[in-house]
Structure 1
Amino acid sequence: MRILAVGVQADEKPLIEQAFGDHHEVRCLDVFLTEDTAPIAAGYEVLSTGVNDDLGGPVLRTLAAGGTRMIAQRSTGFNNIDLQTAERLGLTIARVSSYSPYAVAEFAWALALAVNRRIVRASTRTRDFDFRLDGLMGRDLHGRTAGVMGTGKIGEAFARIAHGFGMRLLGWDIAENPACTELGMKYVHKDRLLAESDLVTLHVPLMPETQHIIDARALKAMKDDAILVNSSRGGLIDTVALVAELREGRFTGVGLDVYEAEAGLFFLDKSLQAIEDDTLARLVTFPNVLVTSHQAFYTEDAVRQIVDTTVRNVLDYTAGRRSANVLVPRS
């Protein structure tokens, strides 16, 4: 069986080809799926996609008409997929329900430390042989409060690192994680977490209930000198409201690995083009903001796990098996 994988990064390609090599023929393209590019999948029964591919109703109908019967998403998130339309069309949908939580948690900490200790600004200065310390003062995190919103596997990994720093832990989630309470985490209402935390980190999935969970009201509830980190999904933060608060000089630092309008931007080279997204263009101008391009998951360990799980999902499909990774079962 021939498989098409789209949105494939250069580092991913050999891993995907190697993983599928003993099972099925796979073609890897760096093209992202849109209504315009969907026809390239014609003739491929199985399509492997990423979180920034468009899998809305129109695209799914084009895929189904071209012979696609199974979509293997190479991510945990699936908010880009119209599951109801997929079910009506008889498409099987599977995802990667979990992979290394340490990859994302460690990167979230990299963002937090970078904005706290002004690492990017310091690096830029020293490249120009400017070795002044003006404007580079950070704060000890030891003894301060880390607020972890979402205490699943990634949130737990983040909390363990915070505990190692000697931080007080506050948590918010629909259910308490015993491993986090053993670390001394106290679960509180969201408003209290935002008001008391020196560092707020987001590790919740993007759903209708969590869309803009950090809105204008939530941002105003935070300390003026807090650090905000988001390595989960861009839609968790109302970016327009965040820019408004940054314009007022608030927050020690903001580290964002995701952006709510990142589709069509992230994973692509836009360096020679004018960026039409005024909100993103303004966001990256703030000296206390660090934006990266959805790379928290991007370690060799995590990508190998993602690829291996994707292969298993495809093999399960061909064998007629169903696993916990299946979002829409084979009809």
Structure 2
Amino acid sequence: MKIAVFSCKPYDKRTLSTCAHGTHLEMTYFESRLSMETISLVKDFDAVSCFVNDDVNSEVIHKLKEQGINTIALRCAGFNNVDLYAAKAVGIHVFHVPDYSPTSVAEHAVALIMTLNRKTHRSYHRVKEGNFALEGLLGFNLQGKTVGCVGTGRIGAAFCHIMKGFGCHVICYDIMPSQELIDLGCEYLDLESLYQESDIISLHCPLNASTHHLINSKSLAKMKDGVMIINTSRGALVHAQEAIDGLYSKKIGYLGLDVYEQEGAIFFEDMSSRIIQDSVFQLMLTFPNVVVTGHQGYFTEEALNHIAETTIDNLLNHQNGKNAPRQLA
């Protein structure tokens, strides 16, 4: 079975090659993303492996089918970048990695909270310059604060456990409440009540029609002044321009993003010597109370290994005609 691996960085190649060693899978690695511009690369392959910013729309799906591709193995949990209806219609099987060390993303959300709160990113640069003044670095105790978690799947649940350890009052919203979290002492509320009561709101839900631009001017109006918002899920959960308006009005006191709606043209690349052609993103970076990381929440040794193992397992099971519990289409 020949697999074209797209959006492949050196660390992906290392882990995938290790896991595929000794199998009948023949992996070819491409750093470029899968799109209509790169579709010609899939010639003579049986399957493709994609990541979060590959554009696997209906047109790409049909071209893949024409080229003889019968399998798409995603190396991520989310699948909003894949047209599953088109894949099902043409008979292409799609697999994903639903659980790749949820703790890694949850811990990164906490890292953003701590950085924004205690301003370690600013104090680091001050000390490097010999400036040991504390003015402007004032934070707050997390203990006793109300933390709202939107989405309590594996990652959201891991986040709730950590925040309970800080002594926070954790409130949650999910269409399927977790009895485990209720037993832990978390409280499930409707979304509007969560907005109204939270000092910190962390997003851990998938991107779909009901969650697109979940954070917008209307939802922000319901929140406390100075609220902290953290997004480690999908960029389009936050309306970037309206979040900037919230920063100007001080409705948002802190904003931590590991994802961004238009990240496909920016993230996972070294842009340090180029002009980033995104005025909204550039403006967001100018705020002292905003911290942006480049979709690195998942990026731990444990998570990378698990992603590679699950991806190879999905391909082998499909090749051997076994049951596919991680199949989406």
SS at match of 2:291: strand
Q: Which moved more, 1:267-276 or 1:135-144?
A: 267-276
- What is the CA distance between 1:101 and its match in structure 2? 1.1
Match of 2:7 in 1: 7
Match of 2:34 in 1: 33
Match of 1:269 in 2: 270
Q: Given the alignment of the two structures, is residue 18 of structure 1 paired with residue 31 of structure 2, yes or no? A: no
Match of 2:114 in 1: 113
Give distance in 1, aligned partners of 2:123 and 2:251.
Answer: 21
Give distance in 1, aligned partners of 2:182 and 2:326.
Answer: 28
Match of 2:173 in 1: 172
Give distance in 1, aligned partners of 2:287 and 2:230.
Answer: 15
SS at match of 2:260: coil
Give distance in 2, aligned partners of 1:297 and 1:212.
Answer: 22
- What is the CA distance between 1:207 and its match in structure 2? 0.8
Q: Is the 8 A contact 2:39 2:64 kept in 1?
A: yes
Q: Which moved more, 1:27-36 or 1:106-115?
A: 27-36
SS at match of 1:143: coil
Q: Which moved more, 1:294-303 or 1:61-70?
A: 61-70
Give matches, 1:191-270, under 5 Å.
191-270=192-271
Q: Is the 8 A contact 2:149 2:202 kept in 1?
A: yes
Give distance in 2, aligned partners of 1:197 and 1:281.
Answer: 28
Q: Deviations over 1:42-87 (max 9, x none)?
A: 1110111001101012222222222221110000100000112112
Give distance in 1, aligned partners of 2:114 and 2:255.
Answer: 10
Q: Which amino acid aligns with 2:8?
A: V
Give distance in 2, aligned partners of 1:97 and 1:251.
Answer: 31
SS at match of 2:32: coil
Identical counterparts, % of pairs:
36
Match of 1:60 in 2: 61
Give distance in 1, aligned partners of 2:51 and 2:231.
Answer: 19
SS at match of 1:55: coil
- What is the CA distance between 1:136 and its match in structure 2? 0.6
Give distance in 2, aligned partners of 1:279 and 1:203.
Answer: 23
Q: Deviations over 1:136-160 (max 9, x none)?
A: 1110010111111111111111111
Give distance in 1, aligned partners of 2:39 and 2:286.
Answer: 35
Match of 1:72 in 2: 73
SS at match of 1:12: helix
SS at match of 1:246: helix
Match of 2:322 in 1: 321
Give matches, 1:38-53, under 5 Å.
38-53=39-54
SS at match of 2:265: coil
SS at match of 1:327: coil
Give distance in 2, aligned partners of 1:46 and 1:254.
Answer: 39
- What is the CA distance between 1:95 and its match in structure 2? 0.8
Q: Deviations over 1:10-31 (max 9, x none)?
A: 2221111111121112122221
Give distance in 2, aligned partners of 1:12 and 1:132.
Answer: 42
- What is the CA distance between 1:88 and its match in structure 2? 2.3
Match of 1:188 in 2: 189
Q: Normalising by structure 2, what TM-score?
A: 0.97
SS at match of 1:263: helix
Give distance in 2, aligned partners of 1:291 and 1:318.
Answer: 40
RMSD: 1.2
SS at match of 2:17: helix
Q: Which amino acid aligns with 2:192?
A: D
- What is the CA distance between 1:130 and its match in structure 2? 1.7
SS at match of 2:11: coil
Q: Which amino acid aligns with 2:302?
A: D
The number of aligned residues is: 328
SS at match of 2:252: coil
Give distance in 1, aligned partners of 2:231 and 2:47.
Answer: 32
Give distance in 2, aligned partners of 1:148 and 1:22.
Answer: 42
Q: Is the 8 A contact 2:220 2:251 kept in 1?
A: no
Give distance in 2, aligned partners of 1:18 and 1:123.
Answer: 37
Q: Given the alignment of the two structures, is residue 92 of structure 1 paired with residue 97 of structure 2, yes or no? A: no
Structure 2 unmatched runs, 5+: none
Q: Which amino acid aligns with 1:15?
A: T
Match of 1:141 in 2: 142
Q: Is the 8 A contact 1:116 1:252 kept in 2?
A: no
Structure 1 unmatched runs, 5+: none
Give distance in 1, aligned partners of 2:322 and 2:265.
Answer: 34
